[in-house]
Amino acid sequence: MSAPDDQGPIRGNWTHSYEEDASGIEVYRPTATFPFPPARRGRERLTFDGDQVVVSPPGPDDRTRPRATLRRLGTGRFGEPETGAEGFEIVEATPDVVRIRRS
């Protein structure tokens, strides 16, 4: 398991692969390259860009819609204390997977 900053900052779009979630840990895979199976519900997307991440849950028509922009609070931690938006901690980050724990 790699620590959040072992391989440099996470970049780009990552999509929730909820079929792989376990023990309170959410799994995200690269949006452009991972072969997601068909799903009956929409998938949340995280877009990492330096010291911030845009959280985009699925809207009523299953297309993702930006909901919150979280900023880096420390190594592997993102949140927005001023607005009360739910944050998260990265527990693993590799080129193929990002695992997070919601705070």
Amino acid at 22: A
Q: DSSP assignment, residue 38? A: P
How far, in Å, CA of 23 to CA of 26, rounded? 9
pTM of the model: 0.89
Q: Quote the strand ranges of the chain, DSSP E.
A: 12-16, 26-30, 45-49, 52-56, 68-74, 77-80, 85-93, 98-102
pLDDT tens for each residue of 29-41: 999 999 999 988 8
pLDDT tens for each residue of 56-67: 999 888 888 999
Task: Label residue 23 exposed, middle or buried (CB < 10 Å: 0-12, 13-18, 19+).
Answer: exposed
Residue 1: what pLDDT?
54
